[in-house]
């Protein structure tokens, strides 16, 4: 049992379980240009909220934050001192057991795949049989391979078969296409990405070659359909990845319109982290006797050490963030903000202090977002400031810390944010900034 105190001098320590979290020392005030005040909700102001000594301004209905009460704040802390070993998953299959085309089998082996993850172990056999599948699993569980492997095999064995993959964000769509390219190397067919924020002309040109896989976001797919560049009547297979996120982003009508233009007899693979009433209705409307596979784990991974950073009245949370980022332990940090404007401004403010930072949000072009993501993955920048567009489906290796600079809208958003660290058997840390009101 380890009990300690976490302070500005030692970010690797632990606050006592159930005790008070990190509280930063008073900031240095003044200087040549006066005190520095920054927040992602409206520019500059004291304490990150605009007025000294005032409580955070309540947002309009529908724009509230999770973490405004002590009971909610407690969910941001996971400092257990007694741990139990989670049971080790033993798959029923190896990848060599799956009856897929010999060339695909070689590509799977070349990528170093041996033992499947739980979602892969359970979903691939049913997908190979052509059954509709509902997979309930978080990001980072291997869902992409769970649908790509059986569907690549299907395209190889069924001449003319075409697959549509819908994803909520541009980054996830691009990532799926990269995975497809690895599994399908040398197999004689192509895939393409159709996402907003990128020039639609090259996408229209690529569709003229009838790619076997079309991977895109609902808005751009619908745009291509309206331009008569994409005809879905010949598509017999569809994947809805991160379906709950697509619903959260308001894509329900687009999703229904797109699915309605496909062949009536469809093979549908549906993946979601949650099962809401809207998800149930969508499944009931568009899937036929699906096999439901749930491999959901605990809400937050045990590999992520979670804590809060309490910002005292009058203290600037931007100063606290800078103080943390100067610690060498914070080697690759993903910082989450609420607004596109605030995220962009925060990244620029960090860069002016010679903290290498990039931003990723919905106002950036797809090319700019991808360059920022690639620079972060390559270690060229140490900090990526992002809206929740980066909270799901993006595989970023070795993120040392996730910092919730702004509170998430919901606990589910929090879970997805911190899931970007502590991946692939690595330990990670998640810190949530909480403004003290009194």
Could you read off the pLDDT of 228-271 as tens digits, one per residue? Answer: 999 999 999 999 999 988 888 889 899 999 999 998 889 999 99
Domain range summary for the chain, segments of one domain joined by + = 46-83+302-435, 95-294
Can 46-83+302-435 and 95-294 be said to share one CATH topology? yes
CATH number belonging to domain 46-83+302-435 = 3.40.50.300
Task: Say what the pTM is.
Answer: 0.62
**Does residue 33 surpass a pLDDT of 60?**
no
What is residue 67's predicted lDDT score, i.e. its pLDDT?
A: 65
Domain 95-294 has CATH 3.40.50.300: yes
How far apart CA 169 and CA 395 sit, in angstroms, is 13
- pLDDT confidence of 81, banded at 50, 70, 90? very low
How far apart CA 161 and CA 247 sit, in angstroms, is 27
CA atoms within 13 A on the CB side of 56: 23
Strand order in the sheet with 267-272: 191-194, 213-216, 163-166, 237-240, 267-272, 133-136, 291-294
**What pLDDT, in 10s, does the model give residues 126-150?**
999 999 999 988 777 889 999 999 9
6 burial via Cβ count (<10 Å: 0-12, 13-18, 19+): buried
Q: Which of 82-91, 229-238, 339-348, 407-416 has the lowest mean pLDDT?
A: 82-91
**What pLDDT, in 10s, does the model give residues 200-229?**
999 999 999 999 999 999 999 999 999 999
Q: Which residue has the higher pLDDT, 11 or 25?
A: 25
Q: Which of 7-21, 106-120, 156-170, 182-196 has the lowest mean pLDDT?
A: 7-21
How far apart CA 377 and CA 381 sit, in angstroms, is 8
What is residue 51's predicted lDDT score, i.e. its pLDDT?
A: 33
Q: Any bridge partners for residue 306, and if so which?
A: 78, 430
Distances in Å between the alpha carbon of 361 and those of 169, 171, 341, 358, 385? 11, 11, 9, 10, 9
Reduce the DSSP state of residue 360 to 3 states and report it: strand
Token reading at 200: 């639609």
Please state, as a whole number, how many other Cβ atoms lie within 10 Å of the Cβ of residue 255.
20
What is residue 313's predicted lDDT score, i.e. its pLDDT?
A: 83
Which of 241, 250, 310 lies closest to 273, judged by CA?
241
């Amino acid at each position: 049992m380890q009990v300690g105190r976490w302070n500005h001098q030692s970010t690797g320590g632990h606050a006592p379980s159930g005790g008070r979290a990190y509280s930063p020392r008073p900031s240095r005030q003044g200087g040549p240009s006066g005190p520095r005040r920054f927040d992602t909700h409206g520019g500059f102001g004291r304490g990150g909220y605009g007025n000294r000594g005032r409580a955070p301004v309540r947002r309009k209905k529908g724009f509230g934050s999770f973490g405004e009460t002590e009971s909610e704040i407690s969910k941001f802390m996971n400092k257990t001192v007694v741990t139990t070993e989670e049971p080790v998953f033993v798959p029923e299959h190896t990848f060599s057991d799956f009856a897929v085309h010999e060339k695909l089998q070689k590509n799977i082996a070349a990528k170093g795949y041996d033992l499947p993850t739980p979602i892969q172990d359970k979903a691939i056999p049913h997908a190979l049989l052509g059954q509709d599948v509902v997979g309930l699993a978080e990001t980072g569980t291997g869902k992409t391979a769970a649908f790509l492997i059986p569907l690549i095999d299907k395209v190889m064995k069924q001449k003319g078969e075409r697959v549509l993959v819908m994803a909520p964000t541009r980054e996830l769509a691009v990532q799926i296409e990269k995975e497809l390219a690895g599994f399908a190397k040398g197999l004689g067919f192509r895939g393409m990405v159709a996402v907003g924020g990128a020039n639609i002309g090259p996408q229209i040109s690529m569709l003229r070659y009838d790619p076997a896989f079309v991977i895109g976001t609902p808005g751009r797919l619908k745009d291509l359909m309206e331009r008569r560049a994409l005809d879905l009547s010949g598509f017999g297979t569809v994947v809805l990845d991160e379906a709950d996120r697509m619903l959260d982003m308001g894509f329900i009508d687009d999703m229904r319109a797109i699915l309605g233009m496909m062949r009536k007899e469809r093979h549908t693979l549906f993946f979601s982290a949650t099962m809401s009433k809207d998800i149930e209705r969508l499944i009931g409307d568009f899937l036929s006797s699906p096999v439901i596979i749930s491999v959901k784990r605990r809400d937050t991974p045990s590999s992520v050490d979670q804590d809060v950073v309490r910002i005292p009245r009058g203290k600037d949370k931007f100063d606290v963030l800078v103080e943390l980022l100067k610690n060498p332990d914070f080697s690759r940090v993903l910082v989450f903000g609420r607004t596109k404007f605030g995220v962009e401004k925060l990244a620029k403010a960090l860069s002016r202090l010679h903290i290498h930072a990039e931003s990723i949000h919905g106002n950036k072009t797809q090319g700019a977002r991808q360059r920022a993501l690639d620079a972060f993955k390559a270690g060229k920048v140490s900090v990526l400031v992002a809206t929740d567009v980066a909270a799901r489906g993006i595989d970023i290796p070795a993120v040392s810390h996730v910092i919730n600079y702004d509170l998430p809208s919901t606990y589910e958003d929090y879970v997805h944010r911190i899931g970007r660290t502590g991946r692939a058997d690595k330990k990670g840390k998640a810190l949530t900034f909480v403004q003290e009101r009194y």
